[in-house]
Structure 1
Amino acid sequence: MNKMLTGAVMAAASVAVAGEVAATEWNVSVWGKRRAFTEHVEKLAELVSEKTGGEFTMNISYGGLSKNKENLDGISIGAFEMAQFCAGYHRDKNPTITVLELPFLGVNTLAEEVAVSHAVYAHPAVQKDLARWNAKLLMTSPMPQYNIVGTGEPRDELAEFKDMRVRATGGIGKAFSAVGAVPTSVTATEAYNAMESGVVDTVAFAQHAHLAFGTINRAEWWTANLNPGTVNCPVVVNTDAYDALSDSERDALDSSVSEAIDHYLANYGALLDKWDGVLAEKNVTKVELAESELDAFRTVAADPIREAWIADMTAQGIPAQELYDLVMKTLSDVRAGN
């Protein structure tokens, strides 16, 4: 009898251990704190857990696994299974995606940003580019056009941008450089300290980041209509970890992306609706540049920077013109569909 009981206990233990082994747990590396920019990641984790009955879970770490500029490196070595990063943090590591950071692309809404990003992500050259880091592109983190907050006298003329020290990355940084400003690419988490210490005069962010990283609290003015472009920040997964998922787990992950993006868009839309109230509450002056100033900015920054990007990327063997044309066609198709 004792032998039979012992055997039963051992069998039960084996089943329990097998159950534990079957459960899948992913570590996810993001940064800062939970905010509009990470809501699709949070929603994705919630949906995947629900669809798998808790057998596939995600532990989302805000800075505990890696620095934001090193998330792609962490993915490449399998230090964690999922991560968010921004292309402008390391353009040489993800050159194909930087097409989405060109200034003045003309993307007007978050839905348009999702469409052009996912079209580019699906391009074979882009997938090959990210495969160098053992990364599979999962979804974008759509952001509205960047605008700047600053201290001192408001800058509402292009001439006043000369020698302005601005926190700006990627194509936005190049655009400001084209009009005589001095961009610096400190990370989002470093932006407040850079502004506080006087390393920069102004900071270019989307609205959620001005709130999340506190730059709005030092601001005296904000440009409402500069809209030079935005930063592209994908969410990627480690390819080996993705391939190791069971069919049901993979389906739970893939089928949750659209719903996670929809949740993100709704959440971000609510934030934008409150933005004017935030400015009033913090006594931040809204600055609107004249259309003639904006036209001058586009003339200096849009075409020359795009042409230089296409020439540079083409020289590296990247189908740059094809990628740019894909963005424009997708934008046109989305608007035609609406």
Structure 2
Amino acid sequence: MADWMTKDIPDQTGCIAVITGATSGIGYETAKALAGAGARVIVASRNVEKGKQTLAEIRAAHAGAEVSFEPLDLASLTSVANCATRLSASLPRIDLLINNAGVMAIPTRHVTEDGFEMQLGANYIGHFALNLRLLPKVLSGSAPRIVTVSSLAHRSGKINFDDLQCEQRYGYWSAYAQSKLATLMFSLELDRMARAQGWNLRSNAAHPGYAVTGLQSTGPRMGRTGPSWQERFSKLLEPLLSQSAAAGALPTLFAATSPDAKGGAMYGPDGFYELKGSPALAKIVPAAQVKAVWRRLWQVSEYLTGLSLDGVAEASAERKRQP
């Protein structure tokens, strides 16, 4: 994997890719690279105006790129359901689903439209609901992949089932770390379930290391009029420890396209503390590998969203029976 770059992405002609949060940062770089490799890319994000700008920029970079925009607010289960309904009606299949969108380090507790703590709701619960709704379309592909973007922050995360929504105690970093641990566990549990069910689905995860994007300012500025101390501190560290958004997108692109990328694994930069570098297998801390926690989190998530995998296996089996 040494020095793996966008030029190493296999031809993606015929691939249909849906990417959340792709109007900026590593999501944008991922969408641009996949479109350049020939994929049909659907940018699923909140901001319609930024979506239009993103499509124009990708088309300018890659003449003839097949890209479109789909409104999606992961902090609203209604928006998630509406987006999934539209995608399911308009697409013959989804070959690649990339769960990229996220928010980080909101200084005070905010909640989603449905009452979930914002970081858990937007980073994890919204994606969980979107994936369950789109899974039948994903399984319609011949060799589909689902890539979930986690973070180095998963290493300090803990799934607090007694206070999952941080109602009793809120810490901006602990809430973020919990949400990113949850996204990683989702990816690992989905891959385990896919193998148990005999689905031809590869579910893996990626993290960008320390990539300079709007993530470092958007969340920390919620409820503030200026930069937070975290943002100022990050600026001091950037010259030494960070990499560009384009470089930060490489682990996601490797996980999404490389024949060597495995299910049930995470990919990240290969440099010091996985902060920057070329894509490589990333460290998953032991606390993230407890299968009983994966399963309990999945069950809680089904309860919170009102969704389950009932019928997905039957739909997949029916598809395989069709001539």
TM range (shorter): 0.3 to 0.5
When Rg is computed on C-alpha atoms for both structures, the one with the higher figure is 1
| Bigger helix share | 1
TM-score normalised by structure 2 residue count: 0.34
TM-score normalised by structure 1 residue count: 0.33
